[in-house]
Amino acid sequence: MLRGLVMALLVSMGPAWGSTPFQRGMVSITLDDGLSSQYTTARPALNARGISATFFLITQNIRGGFSGYVTVPQVQTLISEGHEIGSHTITHPDLTTLTANALEIELHDSQAWLKSQFGLLSVPSFASPYGAYNPSVLSTISKYYGSHRTVNGGQNFKDSNILQLRSYDVHTGITVDTVRSWIDAAAADGSWLILTFHQIVTGTASSSTEYGAADFAAILDAIKAKNVDIVTVSEGRSRMDGSTGDASGDTSVYADALGDGFSDRSYTPHNLDNRTVVRTGLASLSAELNKWNAVYLHHISGLPASQYTSLELWVHGGTEGGQGVRLLAYDGSQKLGSVRLDAVMGHAIQAGTWQQVLVPLSSIGVSSTGTVRDLYLQDDTGTNQSTVYFDDIRLLRSSTPPPTTPPTEPPPTPAFTLYADSLHTTFKDRSWATRNLAAANPVHSGTSAISFEPDSWKALLFNTTTRVDLSLYKTLSFWVHGGSTGGQVVRVLLKEDGLTELGGMRFDVALGHAIKPGVWEQVLIPLSSLGASSRLLQEIYFQDQSGKDQGTLFLDDIQLLP
């Protein structure tokens, strides 16, 4: 009855879900493995609609010219057309099975080859093969990449975990109408929807990883017709807060969506995205628990009971209340324990209100040496019951009493101001573009700003012999004004030693839109999205990327924020 699910739970780094919306909903198209049909069939459909996608490539297959995969010239064409290239490892292994050294090689060398082969300044996006990961894998991913896309279904928000980006795997069994409902939710919620495809076929799909070209095109049309931004993974990531987890270590089973590593194996009518009766966030789990049927949530890697004290959930009895619901915990086929929710609360489930249920694991016979793989919320009456709602289901971490004397907190790191009215004293102006570092109008703050002519690949260049330790900072912040024209195509580039590039990003990508004329706008770029975390900064460039003459651009208040 129990089948394996190829994913693992990050227990130590907390949940991946969030709830803070973006200014507008976003949708990303991702394609895994670098299959040749993605170039011959998916690419024309994308290009015809002006949609840039993210292609996660297995580098060995391309480097070796393997049949059925894209070629080096084809990848170069994808890049020139504006598509993003991400890493999907060298050989497509289950990363959770590798030694530490083999894991490093798969992650580092695949990225290094993509950068070297295609002249890319950075490859910030990564997707793990089979969606398989664990704490060690995520820790290593964070060393090289700015984000990690999973195949855990659900939507992403500004405060979602960038190392566990949710994605829906669009396979043969997924209808266009289902995908349309996900797109509608992204538009309504201000969330980020990532769709993952593999083989795109013109005929009838014959395997679970194939998807019909006509349905693929219909999905693209649905995205274009909706009021959402269409972004690559790195573009979407640049709009996020940069969170990598919840320090509490509590494990989410359900909160707006299933927690990481959980799959839905329920055998009762239910809805994981109910929007009518919600305690927190955007959605709750509603269920018709009739005649011994159950909501059944499974996790293959298992949750060590020793790391948790209790299971917490919230229940709402709907319009009637009084439902008989039993919570059961299993380790595969072995029952660990069970209890009725009303017995824990000391009264019946009430209608019209949310109530907390806190179940100590020891009280239902779950020992500290046990492993929780399966959780059931099951009808315990054998009859038909009215709809019941659940929300915010989580396993609470074992707690340690706080010390009697709080430790002394180190003083916060101040922002490093590279330019505000004048250049920082440790930096020198080595620019070869026409510029004025004391422009009086327009000014964002203070008395001066930088005016800059971004023409014919020319650049502002500021360098220092006293390199800045980027491990102290999280974000590059600056303000940009498009002058009278706007629309300039300019990027910022960081270098460590005059030769080693840490990463770069175009202004319009970071902003999510073209540079506007006549107005100041703040550009916020997480250093992790550039691959520049924990490195040393010696040079910063602001460079034309059009090769043409462009209108005057203004910069002000350039800072590294802690």
Cβ count near 50 (within 10 Å): 10
**What is the pLDDT, as a whole number, of residue 208?**
85
Average pLDDT over residues 50-78: 96
- In the predicted model, is pLDDT for residue 10 greater than 70? no
pTM score over 0.85: no
CA distance 194 to 100: 29
**Which tens digit of pLDDT belongs to each residue from 19-59?**
789 999 999 999 999 999 999 999 999 999 999 999 999 99
Average pLDDT over residues 103-115: 94
**What average pLDDT is seen over the chain?**
88
**What is the pLDDT, as a whole number, of residue 443?**
94
What percentage of the chain exceeds 70 in pLDDT? Answer: 93
Exposure of 91 in the CB half-sphere (CA atoms within 13 A): 9
**Which tens digit of pLDDT belongs to each residue from 439-481?**
999 999 999 999 999 999 999 999 987 778 888 888 899 999 9
CA distance 141 to 286: 36
CA distance 157 to 185: 12
CA distance 472 to 452: 29
**What is the pLDDT, as a whole number, of residue 498?**
67
**What is the pLDDT, as a whole number, of residue 248?**
54
Which of the four pLDDT bands, split at 50, 70 and 90, describes residue 133? confident
Hey, which residues does 339 pair with through a beta bridge?
327
More confident residue, 88 or 496: 88
Phi, psi dihedral angles at 463 (to 5 degrees): -135, 165
Rg value, the chain, Cα: 26
**What is the pLDDT, as a whole number, of residue 65?**
93
Average pLDDT over residues 176-192: 93
**Which tens digit of pLDDT belongs to each residue from 408-437?**
555 677 889 999 999 999 999 999 999 999
- In the predicted model, is pLDDT for residue 513 greater than 80? yes
10 Å CB burial of residue 346 (0-12, 13-18, 19+) is: exposed
What one-letter code names the amino acid at 314?
Answer: W
Between strands 270-274 and 308-316, the pairing is: unpaired
**What is the pLDDT, as a whole number, of residue 409?**
54
Which of the four pLDDT bands, split at 50, 70 and 90, describes residue 16? very low
**What is the pLDDT, as a whole number, of residue 348?**
92
- In the predicted model, is pLDDT for residue 151 greater than 60? yes
- In the predicted model, is pLDDT for residue 67 greater than 70? yes
Phi, psi dihedral angles at 292 (to 5 degrees): 70, 5
CA distance 285 to 278: 9
Average pLDDT over residues 309-315: 92
**Which tens digit of pLDDT belongs to each residue from 253-277?**
898 888 877 888 999 999 988 889 9
CA distance 104 to 137: 9
What percentage of the chain exceeds 90 in pLDDT? Answer: 64
More confident residue, 398 or 7: 398
More confident residue, 386 or 20: 386
What domains are there in the chain, each with its CATH number? 26-238 (3.20.20.370), 251-397 (2.60.120.260), 416-561 (2.60.120.260)
Average pLDDT over residues 172-190: 92
Hey, which residues does 517 pair with through a beta bridge?
none
Which of the four pLDDT bands, split at 50, 70 and 90, describes residue 239? very high
Phi, psi dihedral angles at 27 (to 5 degrees): -135, 135
Which of the four pLDDT bands, split at 50, 70 and 90, describes residue 361? confident
Which of the four pLDDT bands, split at 50, 70 and 90, describes residue 12? very low
Give CA 137 to chain center in angstroms: 16
